[in-house]
Amino acid sequence: MTHNRIARLVETLSTDDDNLNATTATDQPAAAAPADPVAPAAGDGPLLDAYSQAVTRAVDAVGPAVVNIEVGFRHGDAIRRGGSGSGFIFTPDGFCLTNSHVVHGADRIRVMLSDGRTLPATLAGDDPETDLAVIHIAAPDLVSATLGDSKAVRVGQLAIAIGNPLGFQATVTAGVVSALGRSMRSRTGRSIDNVLQTDAALNPGNSGGPLVNSRGEVIGVNTAIIAPAQGICFAIPVDTAKFVAGRLIRDGRIRRSHLGVAAQNIPLHRRVVRFHGLTVETGVMVAAVEPTGPARAAGVQDGDVIVSLNGQPIGDIDDLHRLLTEERVGVSTSLTVLRGTEKVDLTIVPAESSRTET
């Protein structure tokens, strides 16, 4: 009897302990299990943060389309190796974008793909005024990059540069878009507008490579650095590259118009500006007129100051260059000049330019 009573008491106490433990577990959060210090790592994937993932995704998408370009120049009967640069395939049939200064005047162009293949390339077209060129390679199984939209680019967004700086192939650097709407001079002296500024590190050899956003879309063609500075680099916007590339593939060049004058920028006297109601305080003075050019036929004289073309104000030579497009070739156009203190309206028919002309 005593034994049975003790057994029932032990059973009751055990039940009460279980209920107490259950209540305690409900009322208080369970302590986290200690980490196993010798547990194997699950791989680097989970450790990558969002920034790293964005960069690696972009590189995986565009990296196979980036190429190394080497050029050679003829010296007598031999072709000697010149410089090198970068480029990227942007069509499945082998058209590649690069900088004009990488391939301009080259007698031989060779391209190394990301998979190690080395191929000869031909120049499809070259436009020094925008520092862009298109070359073509013939090979199967080519990977092409996706071209983005310049209008969608925002200051502060991620910018990734891929290229071959100083001969180090497939080098990746990352930064941000530092500014939009910059202007820079091409090697011919013509202004290139709407240039992207980035702090993604560029070095000689990066020229012609792609500047890429986090979605793996090309937003620019890397083209220039400011040598004494750090983190001030420039890329031709992709919308300009798309337009120029299309014309180079179709025509081999970009058609532009010219007036047939040598000119320089000068300030205008305030009295002249007020008297004629001009919207600019500077103009383009004609220093010389070509004997057989459009300006001579229109009656332009040495010393005239151009202040308007096709109704658009002209404040400097860059304004004039921007208006002397392909659409103006052979088209009768109004031209306003100051001749002394008089304003003279002329009619001019711009001709096609075969080189950098005004």
Catalytic residue set: 101, 131, 207
- Alpha-carbon distances, residue 260 vs 254, 291, 297, 350, 353 (angstroms): 18, 8, 10, 8, 9
Residues 82, 93: Cα–Cα separation, whole Å: 27
Residues 114, 62: Cα–Cα separation, whole Å: 10
Burial class (CB in 10 A: 0-12, 13-18, 19+), 324: buried
Question: In the beta sheet, which residues pair with residue 276?
Answer: none
Residue 265, Cβ neighbours under 10 Å: how many? 16
Kindly provide the b/e burial profile for residues 80-99, where b requires at least 16 CB atoms within 10 angstroms of the residue's own CB.
eebbbbbbbbbbeebbbbbb
Residues 299, 289: Cα–Cα separation, whole Å: 10
